[in-house]
């Protein structure tokens, strides 16, 4: 089974992001020629740790490891702006900006450490919080999309306090990835 750990996004923020995706998707011109693979709005999430393929027998150990993680406060998240990874000259990803409280990287680090004990390798790259809206194939950027992203570089999509994180299963279907939350874990441990 293919797994990852993520924060779910509330409906109000998801609706604002879906409106932005639709605006960009509807730009006239060569954007409709398959250069972008858009993330379906129902699949929008903030990935904390991509686990990848694991045997079903490891699932209980993963759940148990995640249960021990906790913070002193919820994670504050503010979604605003658009941009590209690695850059607009050779884009691979179109993202929505994510400004988070200082405990978000701590949460990602703690998840990484807890899962290492389950035989899941630590991430080699630094945690960079973002929200993927689309992936480029091939890595080229149409001028109309570049202009639209620059126009929306400070657009507000909403904010919220995350109070739980999820272990999610990803099933790759012909219609795209389908996600199912297998377990939810409170962010703050009760005293």
Looking up residue 74, the CATH number of its domain turns out to be 3.90.1140.10
Torsion from C-alpha of 103, 108, 111, 117, nearest 10 degrees: -120
Region 63-84: what's the mean pLDDT?
94
What pLDDT is recorded for position 80? 94
End-to-end CA distance of the chain: 34
What pLDDT is recorded for position 190? 56
Cβ atoms 48, 7 nearer than 8 A: yes
Structural domain count, the chain: 1
Residue 118 scores a pLDDT above 90: yes
Range of the domain at 135: 2-186
Question: Considering 45, 99, 142, 166, which one is annotated as catalytic?
Answer: 45
Region 133-155: what's the mean pLDDT?
84
Residue 99 a catalytic site member: no
Residue 191 scores a pLDDT above 50: no
Query: Would 141 be classed as within a structural domain?
Result: yes
Query: Would 182 be classed as within a structural domain?
Result: yes
Per-chain mean pLDDT for the chain:
90
Region 22-40: what's the mean pLDDT?
75
Query: Hey, is 184 helix, strand or coil?
Result: strand
Query: Would 191 be classed as within a structural domain?
Result: no
Segment (H or E) for 178: strand 176-186
Query: Would 90 be classed as within a structural domain?
Result: yes
Residue 166 a catalytic site member: no
Region 55-60: what's the mean pLDDT?
94
Cα–Cα distance for residue pair 162/13, rounded to 1 Å:
12
Question: Considering 99, 130, 142, 166, which one is annotated as catalytic?
Answer: 130
Query: Would 88 be classed as within a structural domain?
Result: yes
Question: What's 14's DSSP letter?
Answer: H
Residue 86 scores a pLDDT above 80: yes
């Amino acid at each position: 089974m293919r797994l990852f750990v993520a924060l779910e996004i509330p409906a109000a923020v998801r609706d604002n992001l879906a409106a932005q995706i639709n605006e960009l998707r509807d730009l006239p011109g060569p954007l409709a020629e398959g250069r972008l693979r858009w993330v379906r709005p129902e699949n929008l999430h903030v990935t904390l740790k991509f686990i990848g393929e694991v045997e079903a027998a490891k699932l209980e150990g993963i759940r148990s490891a995640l249960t021990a993680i906790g913070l002193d406060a919820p994670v504050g998240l503010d979604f605003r702006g658009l941009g590209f990874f690695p850059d607009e000259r050779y884009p691979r990803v179109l993202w929505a900006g994510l400004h988070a409280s200082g405990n978000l990287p701590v949460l990602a680090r703690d998840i990484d450490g807890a899962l290492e004990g389950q035989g899941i390798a630590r991430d080699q790259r630094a945690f960079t919080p973002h929200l993927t809206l689309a992936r480029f194939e091939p890595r080229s950027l149409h001028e109309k999309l570049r202009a639209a992203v620059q126009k929306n570089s400070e657009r507000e999509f909403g904010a919220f306090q995350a109070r739980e994180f999820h272990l999610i299963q990803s099933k790759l279907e012909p219609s795209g990835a389908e996600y199912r939350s297998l377990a939810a874990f409170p962010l703050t441990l009760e005293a």
